[in-house]
Amino acid sequence: MTLRARADSFVGIPLDGWTGTSRHWPVAGESLTVESLPRDAHTARLRAMRNAATVAEAELRRPAGADTAILDILHPDGRHPGETAIVAALVEAAFQRCPDVPRLRVAGLGGAPALLALESFPIAPQSGTTPGLCCDALSCAEPASTSAESARAGESHSEAGAAPDALIERAQFYQLPLLWLSPGTRAAYPLIRSRVGPQDRLPPLRPPQPNGMLYRRWLPHLGTTLSFRSIDRRRDLALFHGWMNQPRVSYYWELAQGAAELDGYLADQEADPHLFGVIGSFDDVPVGYFEFYWAKEDRLGPHYDAEDFDRGWHGLIGNAAHLGRPKTLAWFKAVTHYLFLDEPRTRRIMGEPRASHRKMLSYCADAAYETLKEFDFPHKRAALVCCERERFFRAVPL
C-alpha cells in the first residue's frame, strides 16, 4: 500500500475563515453535503456526507506564497472509478474555500482511477525539491524548474517514492460534466444537418427540449442553491403571466398580454427546436425566466459569422425580492456555465442586448462577455456581445 505524505505543520496563507456546509450534486449518484471545519487559520477539514453518514474526509491547506491549494484526501483512497463523484464534490468544496486559486493539488493521487477524469497532468514529487508546474496543463512537455515557479505551485511535502500528486485546474474542472447537471438531462447529438431552419443557414439536428430539473449549483457567497428547470405551461402559466405583466419586465419583453395569449406563446416555443424556456430558482423559490436558444438559426444568426453550436439567451428577474447586483450577476454566470456544460462543442455564448442598456452591458462585462459591435434589429439598436469558453472559465469565478 502506498502512503500519501502529509504535513503536520507549515506556514500558509489564511483561508477565508468560512465555517459551514455546502451542497453538491454529482451527475452520477446521490447528492452530498460537505462540512468545512477550520483546524487553524491555514487548514480546514472537509467532511463529505450522504444521508447523515460520512463518506469522505480530506484536509485542505494553502501554502505561503502559493497559487495552488493542497487537498489531502484521507478517505476514500481514490483507487476505484466509482469514487470519482465523491472526489469531485471534495474538489468543488476546496475551490469554494479558496476562490482565488487557479489550481488544486491532490496529494498522492496522480493517476488514481477516481482522479483520471479530473486531473490535467500528474506531478511527480522529488525528494528534497518542490514539484514543478507547467503553465499549460493541457500541453505540458516538461515541468517548470525555477524556484519562483515552484513557490507559486505550492509544496506537496511528498517523500521520495511516493505516488505523484494530481493537478486539477479550476478552469478545466468547471467544464467537466461530473456535477451540476441533472442526471439524464440530455446527450449531445451527432453532427447531422437538419431540414428545419433558415434555408441559407441550416443548423445541425437539435436535441429534444429537456424536461424537469436541468442544473443545480451551491453559491457559497449567497448561501443558496441556484437551479434551472424547464418551464411547464401547465403549471407555470400563472407565474409566467404575472411576471410578463410587470411594467419593468414588459418594457423590455413587450409581452404584457393575457393568459391565453401567453399560453400560445409558450406552446409555439414547445414546437420550436431552436429554443426552450426555463425557470430559475433560489432554494427552489422561482426567481426568473430564461430562454436559451441556438444562435445560428435565431434572428441573431444573420448579423455575424455564426457557428453551428453558438448559444444565446434572454432573461428576466420576476421575483422582485431577489433583485440586486450580486444575485443578478450570479444568474449571468450560471446561465453561461450551464450552456457551456450542456453542449461541449459550444465555443461561444452570444447576446444582443439593447445598445443603450448600460447596466446590462456592465453585467455582460463582469461575466466575460465582450462587446463586438452594434447593429440594428427592426425593434431596437443592439449590441452584439460574445463570451468565449476559454475566457469565461479562466476569468470568471464560479
Residue 83 bears catalytic tag: no
Residue 164: C-alpha distances to residues 55, 100, 125, 150, 159 (Å): 24, 24, 6, 16, 10
Residue 94: C-alpha distances to residues 106, 229, 257, 283 (Å): 10, 27, 47, 22
Determine how β-strand 311-317 pairs with β-strand 285-294. antiparallel
In this structure, are residues 154 and 167 in contact, taking their beta carbons and an 8 Å threshold?
A: no
Helices (H) and strands (E) counted in the chain, each on its own, are: 9, 15
Would you call 293 helix, strand, or coil by DSSP?
strand
Give the ranges where the chain is alpha helix by DSSP (H): 84-97, 147-153, 170-173, 233-244, 247-253, 259-270, 325-342, 358-366, 389-395
The residues, any chain, with a CB within 8 Å of residue 230's CB and separated by 6 or more, are: 209, 210, 211, 212, 214, 276, 277, 278, 279
Cα separation, 240 vs 247, whole angstroms: 14
Indicate which residue of 352, 370, 374, 390 is catalytic.
Answer: 352
- How many residues are listed for the chain in this entry? 398
* Number of Cβ atoms within 10 Å of the Cβ of 218: 21
Residue 352: C-alpha distances to residues 48, 104, 110, 156, 290 (Å): 42, 36, 44, 47, 14
Tell me 173's DSSP state.
Answer: H
- Positions marked catalytic: 352
